[in-house]
Structure 1
């Protein structure tokens, strides 16, 4: 009989309380004490960047020597790492029993701490397998997050968290980070937009189908004003999920090319990993 791991117990609990996540997050706005406790337990020293889905790109990023797409940021970090595991399933989508996006496209974890993740919930991967996994997630219409998330080291009970970097692939319906609007801003600001990204709406192409308004945006940045779709740039995290559902291609995502190296260096500084 297989030994039950801490992660097994955590998955069991998460599956049953996943729909409470919005209420739990809202406590950070209602109580200073709750905010302090929740931040300490789940979000302390977090730093996460949202990387848009490549298929929603309107303009490619052009570097000095080569042409970049947003997911190349993920790939450059993956290439530097020896320790890589891929989760067998997405905890968010399995907890919600997602019907619209693949449940078997799980997070990628990088760094020496990933060695401690129970192998019954993940599998070791080569750099090439991890790069293919990113492409698979991209083609499925998922956006990405990369960074250090304390919540991952907590639910899997692995340490040190400085040795663990998360690459998560998010859908618009089930993602954990849809709680961002419910969190106190000091916590939600730890999840940031890719520098240089800009999301715009072409009113001439928009047919007001309102699909982008139907629980697609993870940060509540989209609204209807004067019978036109409007995006609040202060709230927008640039995930690109709204562009993915926009059939008339009225929502566009554009980038500047001067932040690639700084983002990659920022991620490298977040993790202590065995470099090749």
Structure 2
């Protein structure tokens, strides 16, 4: 006998590519927008986390505090072990990876929630990439669900896993080049039939080509405002360093927030959700992400309030 979720999977696959048309139609017909919001987006609170790699790489112009001269090469530079005496400016032609043990990477927010959660469910595949027939990113890396609602997801779609397996899964998705978003997403509780949206915390691993939320720029403002950047994250752009190569724009931003105009990148901050993909691709150091000192604590506290993942 076919389960409710299996029927929904078929419906999603058939209608997935028409989501942009639906979003634009909602903008034209306010009554339709209210109905769609009520059915699928009411109470949503979803946060886009910058990719860890976007914070691990320094820009093409970096500032290092040194007590003695040091030779720069392809080796990692541990800034924490250097005394604060002299500041030197070093210009290079490519990004240099460095280690900052005092910086908490965005993925740690996911891992803290996983550690707190009683239940962890991993989908066998990504419904977005399968529906869009993705050719660039692995279809087998699906969403991770936490909280009591995770126990109600159909076992035809995936399986409950251990805390350790869930933690390792985050690393696997990061290595595959995927972006994580986390939050309370009503549409997941609806199509998966998991009960109250307050009992299911969604952690999606998104690619720039197939993500459901690519339709964000086309959605009415009242709906898209629930899809936000990480608290305390800010995208910084220095046009003086930009050479207009276009690497940050073409097939990088899943919301198409970056365009090349008059030989320079132009970033629509109203659309940008600070995913960090453009930062990774810019070897000139023209784009960077600034993270507030208390961003991790604020973001974690915010997510904790959305779903009680510790509830049995």
TM-score (normalised: structure 2): 0.81
The equivalent position to 2:129 in structure 1, one of 73, 93, 105, is: 93
Q: 2: distance between equivalents of 1:240 and 1:108?
A: 21
Q: Distance in 1 between matches of 2:103 and 2:264?
A: 34
Aligned to 2:244: 208
How many Å separate the matches in 1 of 2:123 and 2:229?
A: 25
**Cα contact 1:179–1:218 (8 A) shared by 2:** no
- More off after superposition, 250-259 vs 202-211: 202-211
Q: Deviations over 1:91-131 (max 9, x none)?
A: 11111111111111111000011111011101111111111
The CA distance in 1 between the partners of 2:19 and 2:283, in whole Å, is 31
What corresponds to 1:154 in structure 2? 190
Q: Describe the SS at the equivalent of 1:272.
A: coil
| 1:266 counterpart = 2:264 | no
d(CA) in 2 for partners of 1:275 and 1:73?
Answer: 19
Where structure 1 has 5 or more consecutive residues not aligned to the other structure, the ranges are none
Task: After TM superposition, give the deviation of residue 252 of structure 1 in Å.
Answer: 2.3
Correspondent of 1:20 among 4, 14, 18:
18
1:70 Cα shift? Answer: 0.7
Match of 2:34 in 1: 36
Query: Which 4+ stretches in 1 moved above 6 angstroms?
Result: none
Question: CA–CA distance in 2 between the matches of 1:217 and 1:265?
Answer: 27
Return the offset for 1:266. 1.3
Give the Å deviation of 1:263.
1.4
1:1-276 equivalences in 2 (<5 Å): 3-57=1-55, 58=57, 67-203=103-239, 206-246=242-282, 250-274=286-310
Q: Using a 3 Å threshold, how does the CA distance of structure 1 residues 249 and 136 change in structure 2: closer, same or farther?
A: farther
Q: Is the 8 A contact 1:50 1:144 kept in 2?
A: yes
How many angstroms apart in 2 are the aligned matches of 1:250 and 1:140?
Answer: 25
1:67 partner SS = coil
1:215 Cα offset (Å): 4.4
Structure 1 vs Structure 2 CA RMSD: 2.1
Q: CA deviation at 1:200?
A: 2.9
Answer whether contact 1:141 1:244 (CA < 8 A) is retained.
no
**Stretch of structure 1 that moved more, 148-157 or 221-230:** 221-230
**Displacement after TM superposition at 1:247 (Å):** 5.5
Distance, in Å, in 2 between the alignment partners of 1:5 and 1:209 is: 49
Contact 1:55 1:139 (C-alpha < 8 Å) held by counterparts: no
- Say if 1:200 and 1:231, in contact at 8 Å, map to a contact too: no
Contact 2:231 2:298 survives alignment (8 Å): no
Deviation at 1:201, TM superposition (A): 3.6
Return closer, same or farther for 1:66/1:80 CA change in 2, 3 Å cut-off. Answer: farther
| CA distance in 1 between partners of 2:211 and 2:200 (Å) | 20
Post-superposition offset of 1:77? 1.0
| Alpha-carbon offset, residue 140 of structure 1 | 1.2
Deviation, 1:195, is 2.0
Q: In 2, are the aligned partners of 1:142 and 1:241 still within 8 Å (CA)?
A: no
5+ residue gaps, structure 2, are: 59-79, 81-100
